[in-house]
Amino acid sequence: MGIEDIFANPLLLNILINFAVGLIVTISLNLEVGFADIPQFGRVLTVLMGALVAGGITGRIVASIYGKPSGVEYANHLINYKLVDELSRLLAQSPTLSITMLVLTLIIAAILGGIVGYLCSYPALRLEEAYLGITLLAFGDVLQLVVWNYDPIAGGTEGVMIPDVFRWIGTGPVRFVGATFIILGIALLVFAYAERIARSPFGRSLKAMRDAPLAAEVYGKDIVALRARVLIIGGALAAMGGALWALYTGSFKAVSYSRLTWTFWPWAYMMLGGTGNNVGMLVGVLVFSIVRTLIYTYKDLIGSVIPINPNWLEYMLVGLVIIAISLFRPQGLLPEKPVFALPRKKIEKIRKAVLGENIEESEAKES
């Protein structure tokens, strides 16, 4: 039994892919909500933007490289599925092009997501909490509705298929295992990047702005620039998450990018993990991915025990978790801790170097 056979277990694979994509989106949400205190109830907006890049742009680029139709007719569902099937087979023979397309999709998604995030910073500066949250929520719904109804971009209600940029890895389960690990790798990179932000002067300015905007301004922090920057970064990361999900599933349909799945669930993950703490996101997303995948996988079994549709059970469960967290542990499983700019050992070393021999003396004084 090879390693791919172990991971080809659909249960494990589902948990891993849900974890990876969920982590990217939740980290981006945490940057905006946890670090910058922006009530981002429109996370789906940039996620959908990224998925739209994968659905509407990636395929067209591939099609034009191979000299196939890439205009409005590309999104016609009668043409699209045949065309994409052909493109996927061509892509499978060219790993270089596949990887280039993956990277290119992520770059375009990040740029467009960043632009959308920047546009959101205009209301974000003018409106107060509830007003802003609902405005962002409305933005997400507007984009979903437009993509759902307007066929030429990405097939409207029929959706589009996406040329498979992962098929060069292998066929059947091997493709899914490979794709999952690539996406997981990207998710961990995103996590490392978010941790870097947390330890950077930028991250500390964000938290200063969150805790006391007036004081931060007094210290010369530009609130406008900080908010715009975090919205750009958050938007870009979320768009990458959306693009990766669309590339992994190999299809795009606006209806699957609802505010429930891509805004409220990441909020629940974030609250469970501990708002403001990146490590908490790992825990929150992992717990939820496991539970949701288990419910999904054992639907029929659950259905035979409890006489209700397990779909609704999932809603009840997520609802109960959200309520329980807000009632009993509002700080989440792993509450936010002060972040040191340097590793602790280094700080101790510097402290020793500065205080020299007197260190024991001063410690004695302190205690």
Partner 1 sequence: MIEIFTRAIAYSGGIALAAAGITLIYMATGTFNFAHASKVAWGFYIVYAMMSLLGGSPYYYVIPAALFSAFLGFVTYFFVNRYLLKRKADMVTLMMSTLGVDLIFFAFLNVFADYLTEVYKLSARYFVMELKDPIIMRMGATEIRAVPVVSFISVILVTIGIYLFMTRTNFGIAMRTTIENPELAQVLGINPEKIYLAAWLLGGGMAGLSGAFLSLTISGYPSVGMTILVTLFAGSIVGGLDSIIASILGGFLIGMVEQLGTYSLSVALGGWICAYRPIIPMVAMVITLLFFPRGLATIDWKKVLGKLGVKI
List strand residue ranges (DSSP E) for 184-272, in order: 251-252
Alpha-helical (H) ranges within 150-172 are 151-154
Q: Which of 102, 121, 112 has its CA nearest to residue 143?
A: 112
Whole-number Å distance between alpha carbons of 324 and 330? 9
CB of 274 to partner 1, least distance (A): 13
Q: Which of 13, 97, 119, 127 binds partner 1 (CB under 8 A)?
A: 127
Residue 111 makes contact with partner 1 by CB under 8 A: no
Residue 72 makes contact with partner 1 by CB under 8 A: no
Q: Which of 5, 85, 129, 361 binds partner 1 (CB under 8 A)?
A: 129
Q: Which of 17, 33, 51, 226 binds partner 1 (CB under 8 A)?
A: 33
CB of 360 to partner 1, least distance (A): 43
List strand residue ranges (DSSP E) for the chain, in order: 160-161, 251-252
Residue 104 makes contact with partner 1 by CB under 8 A: no
Q: Which of 10, 85, 131, 340 binds partner 1 (CB under 8 A)?
A: 131
Please write down the HEC assignment for all residues of 28-69: HHHHHHHHCCCCCCCHHHHHHHHHHHHHHHHHHHHHHHCCCC
CB of 41 to partner 1, least distance (A): 8
Q: By CB under 8 A, what part of segment 242-261 binds partner 1? A: 260
Whole-number Å distance between alpha carbons of 67 and 270? 44
Q: Which of 317, 121, 320, 146 has its CA nearest to residue 230?
A: 121
Whole-number Å distance between alpha carbons of 265 and 226? 26
Residue 219 makes contact with partner 1 by CB under 8 A: no
CB of 172 to partner 1, least distance (A): 36
Residue 318 makes contact with partner 1 by CB under 8 A: yes
If one counts every other C-beta atom within 10 angstroms of the C-beta of residue 338, the result is 6
Tokens of 318: 């997520």
Q: By CB under 8 A, what part of segment 134-173 binds partner 1? A: 134-135, 137-139, 141-142, 145-146, 149
- Report the residue number, 119 or 294, with the smaller CB distance to partner 1: 119
Segment near partner 1 (CB under 8 A); pick from 18-26, 49-57, 216-224, 311-319? 311-319
Whole-number Å distance between alpha carbons of 92 and 179? 13
CB of 263 to partner 1, least distance (A): 10
Q: Which amino acid is at 316?
A: M
Q: Which chain residues interact with partner 1 by CB under 8 A?
A: 33, 39, 123, 126-131, 133-135, 137-139, 141-142, 145-146, 149, 260, 264, 267-268, 271, 308-309, 311-313, 315-316, 318-323, 326-327, 330
